[in-house]
């Protein structure tokens, strides 16, 4: 905002420097039929609009060092919190692994281990743990989680192995959000963009708007 005022004051000064010369040289008489104040106000408004448009296209040129520092500190704080969470999760994972030594087929412990592995982005451990759970008890939701883990490992590309896995999930649970999300990606990657979007919209209608999948589907559909 300070830049706006400086520019406008600068334009005003130029105008008042030229004005005495016009008066001295009787050039001002040329403006007899025109309201002098109207001209000045028009120039003022035009200058303000010009600066506003420039400001809009440039972004935020008036941002201060203190604001930049504040943004940087907030980012660092978020990063520190994330690192603390990861550190805590790694420690918790060590405790879970010790407990699994005495009870290796405990599904609750294995699910906790898979979840913690996902948090610290240890995809290999997550996948191996989910596969172990499925061997003990082929739970549909866990198969969906396994497909999602393989999708992340494969950088979002749905290969035939992942497609086969979600087909199995959807046969057992047709409205599973994870499997349908992957199926939509598969359709999109194979040129069926409209079919992919329609599927996402169909599943989105039945999702809890407070659940995580609701926002994921909206992001995929580019809905705000």
Structural domain for 101, as ranges = 64-132
Q: Is the domain of 145 the same as that of 221?
A: yes
> Residue 100 has which token pair?
């699994």
Q: Is the domain of 103 the same as that of 151?
A: no
132, 165, 188: which is the final residue of a domain? 132
Q: Is the domain of 74 the same as that of 144?
A: no
| CA dihedral sign of residues 136, 137, 142, 146 | positive
Tell me which of 192 and 14 has the higher pLDDT.
Answer: 192
Q: Which residue has the tokens 């497609």?
A: 163
Supply the mean pLDDT for the chain.
79
Nearest-5° Cα angle at 146, 123 to 127: 35
Digit-coded pLDDT (tens) for 98-150: 999 999 999 999 999 998 898 888 999 999 999 999 999 999 999 999 999 99
What's the pLDDT score for residue 60? 46
Domains of the chain: total: 3
What's the pLDDT score for residue 133? 93
| Percent share of the chain, pLDDT over 90 | 43
| CA dihedral sign of residues 147, 148, 151, 153 | negative
* pLDDT surpassing 70 at residue 37: no
What's the pLDDT score for residue 7? 54
Q: Is the domain of 224 the same as that of 149?
A: yes
Instruction: State which of 24-38, 43-57, 78-92 shows the largest mean pLDDT.
Output: 78-92
What's the pLDDT score for residue 1? 47
* pLDDT surpassing 50 at residue 33: no
Q: Is the domain of 46 the same as that of 83?
A: no
| Percent share of the chain, pLDDT over 70 | 68
CA atoms within 13 A on the CB side of 204: 17
**Cα separation of 121 and 132, whole Å?**
18
Nearest C-alpha neighbor of 139 from the set 163, 110, 164, 169: 169
Nearest C-alpha neighbor of 130 from the set 155, 83, 165: 165
**Cα separation of 95 and 112, whole Å?**
11
| CA dihedral sign of residues 102, 103, 105, 106 | negative
Q: Residue 204 belongs to a domain with what CATH number? A: 1.25.40
Q: Is the domain of 128 the same as that of 143?
A: no
> Residue 217 has which token pair?
């589907």
What's the pLDDT score for residue 83? 82
Q: Is the domain of 54 the same as that of 23?
A: yes
State the average pLDDT over residues 63-92. Answer: 75
Lowest mean per-residue pLDDT among 39-43, 100-104, 157-161: 39-43
Tell me which of 203 and 45 has the higher pLDDT.
Answer: 203
Q: Is the domain of 223 the same as that of 145?
A: yes
Q: Is the domain of 142 the same as that of 174?
A: yes
């Amino acid at each position: 905002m300070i830049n706006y005022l400086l520019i406008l004051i600068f334009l005003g000064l130029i105008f008042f420097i030229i004005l005495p010369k016009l008066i001295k040289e009787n050039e001002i008489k040329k403006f007899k039929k025109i309201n002098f104040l109207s001209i000045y106000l028009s120039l003022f408004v035009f200058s303000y609009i010009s600066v506003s448009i420039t400001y809009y296209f440039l972004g935020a040129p008036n941002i201060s060092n203190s604001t930049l520092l504040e943004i940087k500190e907030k980012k660092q704080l978020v990063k520190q919190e994330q690192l603390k969470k990861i550190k805590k999760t790694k420690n918790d994972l060590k405790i879970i692994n010790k407990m699994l030594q005495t009870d290796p087929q405990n599904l609750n412990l294995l699910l906790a281990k898979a979840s913690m592995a996902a948090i610290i982005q240890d995809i290999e451990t997550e996948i191996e743990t989910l596969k172990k759970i499925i061997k003990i008890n082929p739970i549909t939701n866990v198969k969906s989680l396994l497909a999602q883990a393989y999708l992340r490992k494969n950088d979002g590309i749905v290969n035939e192995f992942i497609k086969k896995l979600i087909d199995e999930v959807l046969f057992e649970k047709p409205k599973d959000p994870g499997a349908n999300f992957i199926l939509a990606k598969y359709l999109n990657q194979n040129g069926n963009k409209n079919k992919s979007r329609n599927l996402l919209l169909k599943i989105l209608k039945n999702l809890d708007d407070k659940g995580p999948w609701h926002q994921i589907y909206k992001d995929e559909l580019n809905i705000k």
